[in-house]
Amino acid sequence: MNRFLVGAVALALGAVSAAAQSLDDLNIQIHGYATQGFLYTTQNNVFSTNSSNGSPAWDEAVMNVTAQPTDKLRIGVQARYFLLGTFGNSITLDWAAGDYKFNDKFGVRFGKVKTPMGLLNETQDIDPSYIWSLLPQNVYDILSRNSFLAHYGGVVYGSVKAPNSPVKIEYRLFGGQIIESSTDPNIELGQQSSGIALPNGWTGPMWGATLQVKPTPGLLIGASDQVFVTNWTAVATHGSEAGTNGTPPSQNYYYFAKYEKNKYMVAGEYFRQPYSYWYNFPTDPALDSTGRLDQRAWYAMASYKLTDKLTVGAYDTQAFDHQQAFGPSRYNKDWTFSGRYDFNQFLYAKAEQHFIDGAFVDYDTSMNPNGVKPSTKLTILKMGVSF
Amino acid sequence: MKKRMFVFLLVAAAAIFATQAHAQVILIANPSVKASDVAKSDLRDVFTGSASSLKDGSHVNPVLLKQGAAHEEFLSAYIGKNDTAFRATWRSLVFSGQASMPKTLDSEAAMVAFVAANPGAIGYVSKATPHEGVRVLSVR
């Protein structure tokens, strides 16, 4: 189904190309960006990098090509190269979609599409679009992006404005199939710690909705709900044993708000991810297990434009897994201070300092052979160029 | 009394200059756009990718200047962002597959020519720039 959707988009692009009088008719655009990051931690190597000794193993490059042969129809494809520590180091299809906008109230997008959940899910991997080097990891985990950033399927979207009122309501309905996440670093880390591998990853159907209300210019209030099911597609191997893994229908909830005016921005979000999972080994029932996660996380952030080129900001984020035993593995807290300097409209630099307490997210035990310390400081420097 | 008069004159002068600043840039549209005026909120929605039509149903395509005083003034007066923040808004849409970047032109003369020739096009130039062949829309 996935290859069918992507192929349909490619065929549509070719058909439109053949019918066009000239390239100008297609409004073809090419855009891209690239970033180079550097990480240093005082303790605990993070993101599978050797960050305690300083690590430049964080690269990203993106390029897209879009065509808009009519005012309502747009077709495009975007490829991404991503490297973070030992993860990635490959070129993948970021999205490939056809988009038809009937009017401002109703439009459809299909193919491999970004999933419009929460305040920042659609744009969490677009480094040029925000001040932060790293988004609040408790809500937007960089190592889980493959699973939640995009899906095969579609999005129905639109907005409605109340007559004689500034109030605007935007809706997004989405559904399809979760991307097979065998390459999702967080899935890999999770299985590693439990001594199980998922050679085919996990996937399954998902659907959900996001509603955003803009009661006054600059203010946005919203909520998202996503349901996903993965109870028949994965194969687990434990030593020489083969089994299956899955989850019953589970949900992700997001509640968020953002206000922007002139030089400053404030935003906050609450995220909850309760889900159960199971492992079944028919040839060795002693290996069967069930588990439950109930992650609750939030962040509050603010930024201020000191000058036309310099923006500074800070955020606080906390996450708790209420199913974990008490201790650093149950929580993750992170105070972050950040700055971004735009040399011009193409080139920028970022610097960021994190004060992290807890070990709930993002630690690779194989990179921390002496054990994960309960706190660490993380310094990030980043350069980026976009066009 | 003299002090109050002085402060009043200062405030009045500031208000006049502020009004003058907004009056230096005008909104232009292709003759196919029937509206004679546009709400500031609708204008902001169109130029930030949130909407593609005006309240009267006219489909419009925003056109931008690459840089310059008219561009900076337009962003300040009607969008409420500087150029960096404005382009970041469009980049988030382009790189997430939600929109294409608006047509961007090097000069105000090119802006006038493009808007005049393309149905639905809507842009902005300095008031002093010759603008034959386009409609001027007021912003309310």
CATH, residue A275: 2.40.160.10
Model pLDDT, residue B108: 96
Decide if pLDDT at A80 tops 80. yes
Cα distance between residue A112 and residue A152, in whole Å: 4
Q: Name the region of B86 (left: φ>0; alpha: ψ -120 to 50; beta: rest).
A: alpha
Cα distance between residue B100 and residue A29, in whole Å: 8
Model pLDDT, residue B79: 92
Decide if pLDDT at A1 tops 90. no
Q: What is the CA radius of gyration of chain A?
A: 22
Chain A environment of B83 (Cβ under 8 Å): 308, 345
pLDDT tens-digit readout, A25-49:
678 999 999 999 999 999 888 888 8
Cα distances (Å, whole numbers) of residue B34 to B79, B119, B133: 22, 11, 14
Correct CATH for B25-139 of 3.10.20.30, 3.40.190.10, 3.30.70.1070, 3.40.1350.10: 3.40.190.10
Cβ pair B121, B29 in contact under 8 A:
yes
- Could you tell me which chain A residue has the CA closest to the CA of B91? A129
Neighbours of A288 (CB within 10 A): 12
If pLDDT is split at 50, 70 and 90, which confidence band does A20 have? very low
User: Does residue A164 sit at the B interface (CB-CB below 8 Å)?
Assistant: no
Cα distance between residue B39 and residue B42, in whole Å: 5
- Could you tell me which chain B residue has the CA closest to the CA of A304? B85
Model pLDDT, residue A221: 98
Decide if pLDDT at B12 tops 60. no
Cα distance between residue A302 and residue A283, in whole Å: 54
Contact B50 A66 (CB under 8 A): no
ipTM over 0.90: no
Cβ pair A360, A327 in contact under 8 A:
no
Residue A15 makes CB contacts below 8 A (sequence gap 6+) with none
Model pLDDT, residue A19: 45
Q: The domain containing residue A144 runs over which residues?
A: 2-386
Cβ pair A122, B96 in contact under 8 A:
yes
Instruction: Please list the residues that pair with A237 across neighbouring strands.
Output: A197, A242
Q: The tokens 């999933």 sit on which residue?
A: A115
Pick from A57-71, A72-86, A283-297, B47-61: least confident = A283-297
Torsion of CA A101, A104, A105, A106, to 10 degrees: 10
Chain B environment of A29 (Cβ under 8 Å): 94, 100-101
Chain A environment of B61 (Cβ under 8 Å): 71
Contact A33 B95 (CB under 8 A): yes
Scanning chain B, the segments in alpha helix (DSSP H) are 2-23, 40-47, 69-74, 83-95, 108-117
Chain A environment of B98 (Cβ under 8 Å): 99, 109, 114, 122
Model pLDDT, residue A185: 62
Q: How many domains does chain A have?
A: 1
3-state SS class at A46: coil
- The larger pLDDT score, comparing residue A288 to residue A261, is at A261
**Å from B28 to nearest chain A CA?**
19
Model pLDDT, residue A367: 74
Model pLDDT, residue A230: 74
Phi, psi of B111 (to 5 degrees): -60, -50
User: How much is the average pLDDT of A310-331?
Assistant: 83
Instruction: Give A11's Cβ-side CA count (13 Å radius).
Output: 7
Cβ pair A157, A74 in contact under 8 A:
no
CA B67 to chain centre: 13
**Å from B132 to nearest chain A CA?**
24
Decide if pLDDT at B23 tops 90. no
- The larger pLDDT score, comparing residue B66 to residue A3, is at B66
- Return the amino acid letter for A141: D
Model pLDDT, residue A35: 97
Helix (H) or strand (E) run with residue A102 in it: strand A87-103
Model pLDDT, residue B81: 87
pLDDT tens-digit readout, A193-224:
566 666 666 778 999 999 999 998 899 999 99
User: How much is the average pLDDT of A315-323?
Assistant: 86
Cα distances (Å, whole numbers) of residue A260 to A115, A218, A305, B82: 23, 5, 11, 13
pLDDT tens-digit readout, A139-157:
998 877 767 789 999 999 9
Identify from B41, B96, B114 which residue to disrupt to test chain A contact, counting A C-beta atoms within 10 A and taking the largest count: B96
- Return the amino acid letter for A327: G
User: How much is the average pLDDT of B97-111?
Assistant: 95
Cα distance between residue A312 and residue A284, in whole Å: 56
Model pLDDT, residue A318: 94
Model pLDDT, residue A21: 45
Decide if pLDDT at B29 tops 60. yes
Cβ pair A9, A93 in contact under 8 A:
no
Cα distance between residue A230 and residue A276, in whole Å: 11
If pLDDT is split at 50, 70 and 90, which confidence band does A283 have? confident
Of A196, A295, A216, the residue nearest A260 (C-alpha): A216
